[in-house]
Structure 1
Amino acid sequence: MTFGELVRAYFQHYTIMAYLGLTVAAIAGFAFYPAGFWATIFSIAAALFVYPLAWHLLHQYVLHGKWMWKSKLLSPTWKRIHYDHHQDPNHLEVLFGALHTTLPTIAVATLPVGWLIGGPGGALAAFATGLLTTCYYEFMHCIQHLAFKPKYKWVQTMKQRHNEHHYFDETGNFGITNYAWDRVLGTFYEKKERPKRSPTVFNLGYDEKIAETYPWVKDLSGGIASGHPRRRAMRQKDGTAQG
């Protein structure tokens, strides 16, 4: 995939169009209910500080938590927003976050802090910042997962850390575009620091034994896949050819 093909695919995705449309709406709202210059600057800065932390904590304790699969009500959401992504990290249909989960997260992480700093205008400025930050996250997430080799070393390093999270050990490197909070919270690592691959890197701990008690994710998935996704695909292809 070329960079141009990646850009075209990215901007044609419905979630990105939704984020950009809401950003325009937030900016228009700000024009009617503006905050002062410094209140706006501080609202934007606060959103840029809070949003990555909120994402990190949600990623570590919700998406990688071992409690959503225990609920028949929540297990379909967990399957869609993270289990499927780890089962096959390069599957485009689950690469982008679902709007019904991302938009409330952006709103909760940005609107209150913006409102406290600058009232309605500050809240709108912070919300727009969160939306654009999400667009940036999603673009870098595409680079990390699709067949595209980034040109710049810093992007290559970012992609390497994220791929380690998906293909080596899912208990660290929770960041997407930077790993500052991983360093602060003690979850940052490089592959050379961990000698063995995590046995749950592709299933997040949801295995056949767990499914005996909490079967809903397995039922929705038509079973539980195990092992590297490319090797699974090769086995399926060989089985089809033999059949």
Structure 2
Amino acid sequence: MTFRDLTVAFFQYQAVWAYLLLALASGVLAAMRPSSALQTIAAVVAAGLIYPLVWYVLHRWVLHSRWMFKSPLTAGVWKRIHYDHHIDPNHLEVLFGALYTTLPTIAVATMPIGWLIGGFGAAMMAFAAGLLITCFYEFVHCVEHLPYKPRNRMFAEMKARHLAHHFHDEDGNFGITNFAWDRLFGTLYERRDRPMKSPTVFNLGYDEEAARRWPWVARMSAAPTPVRPRNNGRSRNV
């Protein structure tokens, strides 16, 4: 796959256009009730700084928790937004996050801090920044999962760390583009640092015993504990 092929595939997803159009709409709203230039810049910078931490916290302590599959109220959401992706990392239909979860998360992570900095206009610009950052995250996520070999060393390292998270040990490398918080919290690793493969790397702990006790995800799944994910004719690049 070439970079052009990757880009074309990326823009075929409706979620990408939703983020871009909402970012444009947020910019228009911000222009109608603008904050000062300094407040706007500060809000955008704050959104960019807080975003990697929010993603790390959610990815590590929510998406990789086990409380979500134990409740019928959250089991379906967990299955859609993370379990299915780990069960089969090559399944592109669930590569992108669900908008009903990502949009509220982006809003909560960015708009309050923007509002505190400069009111309505700054809040809208912080939200727009969060949406555009999400687009970048999703693009890098495509780089990490599609059969594209990055020439850039930084992107190649991101891909190697993320694929280790999916195919070797899920308890680490929680970042997508930014691994600073992994480094700070001690969850950044190279595959050579963990010679043993995690037995829950694909099912996230939702094994046959868990499925018997908390059956809601299993009832919505073809098989709760597959031996390996589908290849779908795509290289894993690992």
Aligned to 1:86: 86
- The 8 Å contact of residues 115 and 123 in structure 2, kept in 1 or not, is answered as yes
Aligned to 2:19: 19
Aligned-residue identity in percent:
57
Q: CA–CA distance in 1 between the matches of 2:30 and 2:42?
A: 15
What does residue range 52-91 of structure 1 map to in structure 2 within 5 Å?
A: 52-91=52-91
Q: Mark the structure with the bigger radius of gyration.
A: 1
Aligned to 1:148: 148
Bigger relative contact order, structure 1 or 2 (CA pairs below 8 A, ≥6 apart): 2
| Per-residue CA distance 1:33-58 (angstroms, 9 max, x = gap) | 11111111110111011111011100
Kindly state the Cα deviation for residue 225 of structure 1 after the two structures are TM-superposed: 3.1
Q: CA–CA distance in 2 between the matches of 1:191 and 1:19?
A: 34
Q: CA–CA distance in 2 between the matches of 1:161 and 1:71?
A: 31
Kindly state the Cα deviation for residue 223 of structure 1 after the two structures are TM-superposed: 2.5
Kindly state the Cα deviation for residue 195 of structure 1 after the two structures are TM-superposed: 1.6
The amino acid of 1:169's aligned partner reads D
- The 8 Å contact of residues 206 and 225 in structure 2, kept in 1 or not, is answered as no
Aligned to 1:192: 192
Aligned to 1:4: 4
Aligned to 2:38: 38
- The 8 Å contact of residues 173 and 188 in structure 2, kept in 1 or not, is answered as yes
The amino acid of 2:137's aligned partner reads Y
Q: CA–CA distance in 1 between the matches of 2:119 and 2:230?
A: 50
What does residue range 1-243 of structure 1 map to in structure 2 within 5 Å?
A: 1-230=1-230
Q: CA–CA distance in 1 between the matches of 2:200 and 2:226?
A: 9
The amino acid of 2:164's aligned partner reads E
TM-score, structure 2 as length reference: 0.95
Q: Secondary structure at the match of 1:73?
A: coil
| Per-residue CA distance 1:82-131 (angstroms, 9 max, x = gap) | 00000110111000111000000000000000000010011011100100
Kindly state the Cα deviation for residue 9 of structure 1 after the two structures are TM-superposed: 1.5
Kindly state the Cα deviation for residue 2 of structure 1 after the two structures are TM-superposed: 1.8
Aligned to 1:241: none
Q: Secondary structure at the match of 1:221?
A: coil
Q: Secondary structure at the match of 2:220?
A: helix
Q: CA–CA distance in 2 between the matches of 1:8 and 1:68?
A: 34
Aligned to 2:236: none
The amino acid of 1:163's aligned partner reads L
The amino acid of 1:166's aligned partner reads H
The amino acid of 1:205's aligned partner reads G
| Per-residue CA distance 1:191-230 (angstroms, 9 max, x = gap) | 1111201110000000000111101111100232332214
The amino acid of 2:52's aligned partner reads P
The amino acid of 2:184's aligned partner reads V
The amino acid of 2:172's aligned partner reads G
Count residues with an aligned counterpart: 233
RMSD: 1.3
The amino acid of 1:213's aligned partner reads R
Q: Secondary structure at the match of 1:229?
A: coil
Structure 2: stretches of 5+ with no match in the other structure: 234-238
| Per-residue CA distance 1:150-209 (angstroms, 9 max, x = gap) | 111111001000001000100000000020011111211111111201110000000000
The amino acid of 1:44's aligned partner reads V
Q: CA–CA distance in 1 between the matches of 2:208 and 2:124?
A: 46
TM-score, structure 1 as length reference: 0.93
